[in-house]
Structure 1
Amino acid sequence: MRVLENPGRKDRIPPEIISFFEAFPGQSLLLKGKPGTGKTILTLEILRAVCEEGNGLYISTRIEPQRLYMTSPWIRDLIPERNIINATQSKVRRSLGWEAQRLKRTRPIDYDTILQFFKVIYEDAEDMDNPMIIFDSWDGVLSHLNMEEEAAALTQGICDFCREVETHTIFVTEREKETAIDFIVDGVVALHRLRLGESELRGKEPEHRVVRELEIEKLRGLPVRQSRYLFTLHGGRFRFFKPFLENLRVEVKPVLNIGGDRQSTGIPDLDRAVGGLPAGSLSLWETRYGVNKRYEQMLFQLCMNTVVKGGGVVGIPFMGSSIAKMKVENIVMYYPETEDVNVETASFLSVVRSLQEKVEKPVLTFISIDTLERTFGPKGALNLLENVLKISEETQLISSIIYLAGSEASILKVVANSADIHLVFRDVDGALVLYGVRPVTCLYGVTTDREGVHLTPVV
């Protein structure tokens, strides 16, 4: 099978799976997962990435062409209606000796039987040149053919035949446990729906948000650099999330205010999620272990959007901040020089007021709590934050407070109780995700491109 030379078709599938189908002709893949995990959508996305138009062969026991096109209209050109085979139809059953099987046939499955099976299928799906074949589901096909006890033998025969004719094959199953088929096929991929984890603020209460995870269990003869990926089915399409890498060189285009007293975050997707930033508001950005400074891409876009619209930014950065190293007019970094909280609070607010007078617009501030803790200790850090929050409300300052994992939990609770917006950043399989505690939002995967930050719902 010739793989399409179209990079745009491959960007939704983990590179290990693409490499698997490109490595050898006639590869066989077992795709496992409970109902609703996204198996059918993933098979169609793989088909789109590696198969020529019109050469998809979909053998199913549970879906009609009209329903398939209704849920996934983008695959119509890949799988013409004539190439959707109903595995329950009588001549397909007869091709595997169903009548004899019904009478408890004792002879083993031989190569002639496999050839007869494919002859019937190819008669229905004409004008194909080395198609990719999908059995969805393989459990259903075996059940309707009354061949569950001979599943391994039939699977082995089909895999051998497909290697000989250089045709890729995908078997879809809802059985998560390992069976003999796992050892027969060339690759095994499993899809899971998992709880995000336990919330630090709510003790042992389970986190209600669910993530989707793809796990590569086996790709014979190929290295697997990353075995687990976060993915989404947003918009009825499969899309995996790459490990998040920041890019502070994006060209920030100003995003106009949302309306009323609400300022834009500079990230349209985030504006839609939380409604923008009200004047005088407090935003808590809580980062969990493993996130490190990857959220800084969003902070960068927020700061730059404020500046390009004529506003100003004053920040107390965390150690190693990339934004602190940038030389941009009206972005001022403040570094405490003493351990006297009262002196430093007054000095910081003086810098903020001075910048407000200069730009004559609300000033965005961001404060890294770990920097305050390191300088003043937990009690002193909380004292400074309380003073800033009070002034923020009085002066219509827009404040964003960053909480870093490992900082004093008592500070998190105090700030969380006062925050107008509370975002949580987490790492899932190398991908950066966030969700809103206030307002409550779904889980989003965070990605970047030349146009900046994008949030994609994980559904």
Structure 2
Amino acid sequence: MRSVGYLISRKGSSLLIRGYPGTGKTLMALSLIYSHRGDFFYISTRVSPEEILEIYPHLKEEIQRIKILDASKEISLVDATMRRFSKSDEISDFLLSVRYEDKPAFIRALVSLLRDSENPLVIIDSVEAIQESLGREILSDLLELSDEIGFSLVIIVERGEMGREDYLVDGVIELERRIDDERVLRKMRIHKLRGCSIPQPEYLFTLKDGKFRLFEPFSYEIPKESKLFEPLEDPDENRFSSGSEDLDEIFGGGFRKGSSILLEISEGVTRRMYHRFVQSFYLNFLRRGRRVYLIPTLGTDKGEVINEMRPFLREEELKNLIFIEREWGKERLRGEEAVKEADRIYERLVYEERKGSYEDLHVTGVDASYSRYGEECIRVLEEGNAFVQETRGLRIRIAKPGFPFMKELSNLSDIHIKMENFCNVPVIKGEKPKTQYYAMLVDLSEGFPKLRFEKVE
């Protein structure tokens, strides 16, 4: 939104926001008030001033400089404190000149107000509705006034496709709302922003809690002043925490002990994205004195995994991260030989390396398992399920695109989570149980990575 804010900060600039009903055009336009330094006018025929503040109460609570002009009735102007202004009966000679005598009454009143306003921003919502109410075309008048008086103009239109207006304004943004298997997905598409850089053409956004929120592209760097990860307690004696309050809540208050999770990775999801997801589990288990057994996905750098977690753990905790070493991706075992090797691994975990509680985390990159066990991979994974159930641990299986037994793997799992990349933002959805889309965000404000998930709605 920085580029959009820069555009409307220029006097006389114009921005078109288009999209079908329900895409979030009004909320996006109103969200501009947070970055705009100056007076703010909202013109609409669809709702009264009282209704707009009732629908979006955060404007009344947080913003004291918005003025709402009702173009469908006799001039009605209020500010965010609900103080109503009376219509001016005396209009200057300038406004009654030949140049302005054919303008509708609300434009004359608007011009009168704007002349004494400081860096005004005007929103027209929507231009079709206002033109229908007035019985005349008004866009040309508004663009002319914007250029002459020097106010910024935001125009909302009720369509998604390109129109004549696109050629007349400085910026064009399209909002899209898509339903994907009963899940809501929202995208903002930037078609042009004259004189402004456009880092990427599409952005994911949400209207959660009645507010427009744009998700920035995913990025992650270890904080310079890092702190120990603050673990979350288990929700109860029968459930583990993931280390993320949001993730625990999405899946019913934590993850049942003895259960298994399938994390399915879609095309376009980067290693850094899905590593942040499982890292939250790693850190929470390790900081709570448990062990993490890891068969990484093929191509994973063991040293990188360790170094990325070292700033947030004590050294004795980091020693509980145990990599299960085999010839992953090199030698393939077949038939009973594969199952016997899996049995030996679990026996070793029980009898040789572990004392006390077995409530550990087991993470497997299934591409590594498949590279060694081939078609016997599912049998080996079934052995893993039995082991985790018996020891009341938690298993996470990471499946990259192209894994040939995804359906069978989903059937083996108690929870199936799919991660996708929308507009360079990692997004998860529950396939089992079914959930909506949630954008994954990494909060580093406390010196360690804390995963937050925000619903796309």
For residue 364 of structure 1, what is the aligned residue in structure 2? 361
Aligned match of 1:131 in 120, 130, 141? 120
**SS, match of residue 442 in structure 1:** strand
Count of aligned pairs between the two proteins = 409
- Secondary structure of the 1:141 match is helix
Distance in structure 2 (CA, Å) of the matches to 1:324 and 1:348: 23
Deviation at 1:351? 4.7
Tell me if 1:400 matches 2:374: no
Alignment partner of 2:204 out of 201, 217, 230 = 230
- 1:156 Cα shift? 2.9
**Inter-partner Cα distance in structure 1 for 2:74 and 2:352:** 79
For the residues of structure 1 that align with 2:22 and 2:352, how far apart are their CA atoms? 53
Counterpart of 1:100 in structure 2 is: none
The reply to whether residue 28 of structure 1 matches residue 9 of structure 2 is: no
Q: Check conservation: 1:247, 1:448, Cα contact below 8 A.
A: no
Summarize the Cα distance change of 1:233–1:359 in structure 2 as closer, same or farther, 3 Å threshold. farther
Cα distance per residue 1:202-243 (max 9 Å; x no partner): xxxxx2212011111121233322111111000111111122
Deviations 1:114-170 (A, max 9, x none): 5975441255689631211011111111111101xxx3xx32332232133321111
User: Partner residue of 1:283?
Assistant: 261
Secondary structure at the aligned position of 1:191 is classed as: strand
The answer to whether the 8 Å contact 1:287/1:424 transfers is yes
Q: Distance in 2 between matches of 1:25 and 1:354?
A: 74
Partner amino acid, structure 2, of 1:330: N
Within 2, Cα distance between the matches of 1:188 and 1:282? 46
**Aligned mate of 2:385, from 371, 386, 389:** 389
Q: 2:29 aligns with which of 43, 58, 63?
A: 43
Partner letter of residue 323 of structure 2? Answer: M
User: Cα distance 1:354–1:42, how it changes in 2: closer, same or farther (>3 A)?
Assistant: farther
For 2:92, the equivalent position in structure 1 comes to: none
SS of alignment partner, residue 128 of structure 1: coil
Give TM-score scaled by structure 1 length.
Answer: 0.82
1:49-448 paired onto structure 2 within 5 Å: 49-52=35-38, 55-76=39-60, 78=63, 80=65, 83-90=67-74, 113=102, 118-123=107-112, 128-147=117-136, 151=137, 154-196=138-180, 207-247=181-221, 251=227, 252-274=229-251, 275-293=253-271, 294-321=273-300, 325=304, 326=306, 328-337=318-327, 339-340=332-333, 341-353=338-350, 357-358=354-355, 360-377=357-374, 379-408=375-404, 411-448=405-442
Tell me if the contact between 2:332 and 2:371 (Cα under 8 Å) persists in the aligned partners.
no
- For 1:15 and 1:323, how far apart are their aligned partners in 2? 38
Deviations 1:394-423 (A, max 9, x none): 222211111111111xx2111211211111
- Identical-pair percentage: 26
CA contact (8 A) 2:362 2:396 kept: yes
Aligned 8 A contact 2:69 2:75 in 1: no
Q: CA offsets per residue over residues 22-49 of structure 1, 9 Å max, x none?
A: 4x32210111111111111100111222
- For residues 69-117 of structure 1, the C-alpha deviation after alignment (integer angstroms, 9 at most, x for no partner) is 2222232354657x2111022469xx9xxxxxxxxxxxxx956645975
The structural deviation recorded for 1:445 is 0.7
Bigger shift: residues 315-324 or 59-68: 315-324
Distance apart, 1:185 and its partner CA: 0.9
Tell me by how many angstroms 1:245 deviates: 2.5
CA distance in 2, matches of 1:355, 1:112: 93
User: Cα offset for 1:258?
Assistant: 0.6
TM value normalised by structure 2: 0.83
SS across alignment from 1:335: coil
Query: 2: CA distance between counterparts of 1:157 and 1:359?
Result: 79
Matches of 1:79 and 1:227 in 2, distance apart?
A: 33
Structure 1: 5+ residue stretches without partners:
1-13, 96-108, 197-206
Secondary structure, aligned partner of 1:295:
helix
Once structures 1 and 2 are overlaid, which stretch shifts more, 64-73 or 328-337?
64-73
- Per-residue CA deviation, residues 291-340 of structure 1 (Å, 9 max, x unaligned), is 13211101011111001011110010013436663062201111223533
Give the letter for the 1:19 counterpart. Answer: Y
Q: Which amino acid aligns with 2:200?
A: Q
Structure 1 residue 368: Cα displacement: 0.4
